[in-house]
Structures are given as structure tokens and as C-alpha cells.
Amino acid sequence: MSEPLKYRRILLKLSGEALMGDEDYGIDPKVIGRLADEILEVRKAGVEIGVVIGGGNIFRGAGLAAAGMDRVTGDHMGMLATVMNALAMQDAIEKRGGFARVMSALPIHDVAEDFIRRRAIRHIEKGRIVLFAAGIGNPFFTTDSAAALRAVEVSADLLLKATKVDGIYTADPAKHADATRYDHLTYDQVIERKLAVMDTAAIALCRDHRLPMVIYDMTVPGNLMRVMRGESIGTTVGT
């Protein structure tokens, strides 16, 4: 018998940077392998899982636009970067004996399935890990918004944002030694205090659908499972 867990279906948001490890670009196979192990540990314990992966380790539209590129073209490149990351995660999960499906918001039929909500839910119900790629498929959005949207669409009961720090702080802890961590915040506090955790559209969508969020440190092995057990890790955002 598996132990009782607090959550039945989760949506995990991994930033592209989470895949880089100590590199400053691209994907570190060791890091993606460890993340795949953690995802599979939680799946084996019975949790249904969707994952949204960012693309910031390869391209971000805003960065490309700042360097002179057309913003929409840059955003298309950013979305394609998320597809590459999702393919790498699919590979890592399947190498470990798990089942995964990349579903892309941009149709790329030779590479990934299209995102079709009912099909995504079916995959999740069958225990497959669905990797939602290409954000929401439109420029001027982020994968944070995609994570909130997909979480609501597939009726996840928790949105997790995996970061390199252990929650939301009063200020950037890397720059301000006196910054303190919040255990819990309301959605409106995150928005009003302009806490750089997820973009406002993502937070507002979670608020409107009362979808709880946990922001946690994914660099500590085992943390994902700890959140599933209901241990107080990181910062929760809710009502």
C-alpha cells in the first residue's frame, strides 16, 4: 500500500534554467535525469502529473528582442526551445521506464502530439506524465501563464513552481542578506507586493480558480515527494 498523499493530480512548472545545472546554456543530462527520477518517484506513489517546461535555458523572446530581433519571432524561438526541453525530459523519463507524452501548443506533428485538453486528461488518467510544450502557443506569454492555464484545464489540485531558492522572499535573497522567507501568502499579497515569483497573469488565474501553489527548492533531492506528503516546504500561495 502506498502512503496517503495530500495531492492527487499536480502540475509542475520547471523553468528552462532548472535544466542547466551549473552550465549557462542548454541542458545538463545529470540534472534532467535527477528531475526525471523525482517525477517518477511521485508518479509511482500514485500522483498524476503534468509538467510545463520553460525555455529560458535556450531562448527567451524578450532577450532576443532586446538584442534587436522581432519580438514575435523571438517568442516563437522561445516556444520552440520549450519543445526541445520537453523532448529531453520525455527521453529521460522513458529511459527510466516511465511513460511520457509531449503535447505541444504549436502543431509539430513529427515531433509531438498537439495539445488537446481531453486527450491530455486521458493520458494523465492512464498514468502518463504529460509534458506540455510551447507554452500556450502565443507570443507575449510565458510558460508561467501556461502552467497556470494547463493546471486549471486538467483540474490539477496543486501548481508547483520549482526554483533554485526555497520559497518566496521579502527581497532577492541573493542580493539582500536580511531577506526573509514567507511560509504563506495570499494571491493578492503576491500581486500587490510585486513579488517576483510568477507573472501576474499566472497568479490571477490561480486566484480566480482557487488553485493552490507551492514554490519550492528543486535543487534539494526528495523535495517534490515532501510536498506531496504535505510537509511544509517552501512558500504556499492560496486564499
Strand partners, 114: 104
The rounded Cα 150 to chain-centroid distance in angstroms is: 10
Query: With binding defined as CB under 6 A, does residue 216 bind ligand UDP?
Result: no
Contact string 1-30 vs ligand UDP (x = CB under 6 A): --------------xxx-------------
CA distance 186 to 80: 33
Task: Give 87 or 136: the residue with its C-beta nearer to ligand UDP.
Answer: 136
The distance of closest approach from Cβ of residue 109 to ligand UDP in the complex, given in angstroms and rounded to an integer, is 19
State the helix-helix crossing angle for 143-153 and 200-208, rounded to 10 degrees: 10
**What are φ and ψ of residue 78, in 5° steps?**
-60, -45
For 197, the grid coordinates are 515569483
Q: Is residue 25 a known part of a binding site?
A: no
CB of 34 to ligand UDP, least distance (A): 18
Whole-number minimum distance, CB 166 to ligand UDP, in Å?
Answer: 18
Asked if residue 122 belongs to a known ligand binding site, the reply is no
Q: Does 79 bind ligand UDP (CB under 6 A)?
A: yes
Contacts of 228 (CB under 8 A, 6+ apart): 5, 6, 7, 10, 42, 45, 47
Tallying the residues shown for the chain, one arrives at: 239
Q: Is 142 in the site for ligand UDP (CB under 6 A)?
A: yes
- CA 148 – CA 150 distance, rounded (Å): 6
Q: Kindly state whether residue 50 participates in binding ligand UDP, applying the rule CB under 6 A.
A: no
Part in contact with ligand UDP (CB under 6 A); list of ranges 73-81, 91-99, 218-226, 228-236 = 73-81
Q: Which is nearer to ligand UDP, 84 or 124 (CB)?
A: 84
Known binder of ligand: residue 26? no
Total site size for ligand UDP, rule CB under 6 A: 24
Closest by CA position to 100, among listed 136, 147, 49, 150: 49
Whose cell is 515532501? That residue is 226
β-sheet bridge partners, residue 52: 13, 132
Binding residues for UMP: 55, 75, 136-143
Annotation: binding site for ATP: 13-16, 56, 60, 163, 169, 172
Chain residues in the site for ligand UDP (CB under 6 A)? 15-17, 54-56, 60-62, 74-75, 78-79, 81-82, 135-136, 138-139, 141-144, 146
